A and B are shown apart, each in its own frame.
Chain A
Amino acid sequence: MAILEVKHIEKHFGSTKVLNDISFSLEKGQALSIIGSSGSGKTTLLRCLNFLERPDGGVICVNGRVIFDAEDKTTQSDKEIRKKRLHFGLVFQNFNLFPQYTALENVTLARELMAKEHGSESKAAIREEGLTLLKQMGLADRANHYPHQLSGGQQQRVAIARALAMKPDILCFDEPTSALDPELTGEVLRVIRELAKQKTTMIIVTHEMAFARDVADQVIFMDDGVIVEQGDPRQVIEHPAQERTRQFLARYSQEE
Chain B
Amino acid sequence: MLLDVTLSLLEGFGVTVQMFVLTLVFALPLGLIISFGSMSRFAPLRRLIQGFVWIVRGSPLMLQVLIIFYGPGLLFGLPLLPRFTAALLAFVINYACYFSEIYRGGIQSVPRGQYEAGQVLGMTKPQIFFKITLLQVIKRIIPPMGNEWITLVKDTALVRVISVYEIIWMGESYIKKGMIWPLFYTMVFYLAFNGILTIFFGWLEKKMDYFK
- Chain A CB within 8 A of B56 CB: no
Which residues of A does B touch, CB under 8 Å? 50-52, 82-83, 85-86, 88-90, 92, 94, 96-101, 109-110, 113-114, 146-148, 162-163, 166
What is the CA–CA distance of A166 and B139 in the complex, to the nearest angstrom? 28
- Chain A CB within 8 A of B116 CB: yes
* Contact indicator A109/B131 (Cβ below 8 Å): yes
B212: nearest chain-A partner, CB-CB: A148
* Contact indicator B119/A85 (Cβ below 8 Å): yes
* Contact indicator A85/B120 (Cβ below 8 Å): yes
6 nearest A-B pairs in the assembled complex, by CB-CB distance: A110-B121, A96-B113, A96-B117, A148-B212, A90-B120, A99-B211
- Chain A CB within 8 A of B114 CB: yes
Q: Which among A51, A96, A98, A146 is the interface contact of B210 at CB below 8 angstroms?
A: A146
What is the CA–CA distance of A101 and B139 in the complex, to the nearest angstrom? 14
* Contact indicator B122/A94 (Cβ below 8 Å): no
* Contact indicator A92/B117 (Cβ below 8 Å): yes
What is the CA–CA distance of A188 and B122 in the complex, to the nearest angstrom? 24
* Contact indicator B127/A113 (Cβ below 8 Å): yes
* Contact indicator B212/A99 (Cβ below 8 Å): yes
Would A166 and B122 be within 8 Å (CB), given that A96-B111, A96-B113 are in contact?
A: yes
A165 vs chain B, min Cβ distance (A):
8
* Contact indicator A100/B211 (Cβ below 8 Å): yes
- Chain A CB within 8 A of B136 CB: yes
| Cβ contacts under 8 Å, B210 to chain A | 100, 146
Seed contacts A82-B124, A86-B122, A100-B136; 14 additional CB < 8 Å A-B pairs:
A51-B119, A52-B120, A89-B120, A94-B111, A96-B114, A97-B117, A98-B114, A99-B136, A100-B135, A100-B210, A101-B211, A109-B131, A113-B123, A148-B212
What is the CA–CA distance of A94 and B113 in the complex, to the nearest angstrom? 8
28 contacting pairs across A/B (C-beta < 8 A): A52-B116, A52-B120, A82-B122, A83-B122, A85-B120, A85-B122, A92-B113, A96-B114, A96-B116, A97-B117, A98-B114, A98-B117, A99-B136, A100-B136, A100-B139, A101-B211, A109-B131, A110-B121, A110-B122, A113-B123, A114-B122, A146-B210, A146-B211, A146-B212, A148-B211, A162-B121, A163-B121, A166-B121
What is the CA–CA distance of A100 and B210 in the complex, to the nearest angstrom? 8
Q: Which among A50, A86, A113, A162 is the interface contact of B131 at CB below 8 angstroms?
A: A113
What is the CA–CA distance of A50 and B117 in the complex, to the nearest angstrom? 11
Would A98 and B116 be within 8 Å (CB), given that A146-B211, A162-B121 are in contact?
A: no
Q: Which among A50, A83, A98, A99 is the interface contact of B120 at CB below 8 angstroms?
A: A50
What is the CA–CA distance of A192 and B139 in the complex, to the nearest angstrom? 34
* Contact indicator B120/A88 (Cβ below 8 Å): yes
| Cβ contacts under 8 Å, B122 to chain A | 82-83, 85-86, 110, 114, 166
A109: nearest chain-B partner, CB-CB: B131
| Cβ contacts under 8 Å, B121 to chain A | 109-110, 162-163, 166
A47: nearest chain-B partner, CB-CB: B116
- Chain A CB within 8 A of B132 CB: yes
* Contact indicator B114/A147 (Cβ below 8 Å): no
| Cβ contacts under 8 Å, B117 to chain A | 92, 96-98
* Contact indicator B114/A52 (Cβ below 8 Å): no
What is the CA–CA distance of A109 and B127 in the complex, to the nearest angstrom? 10
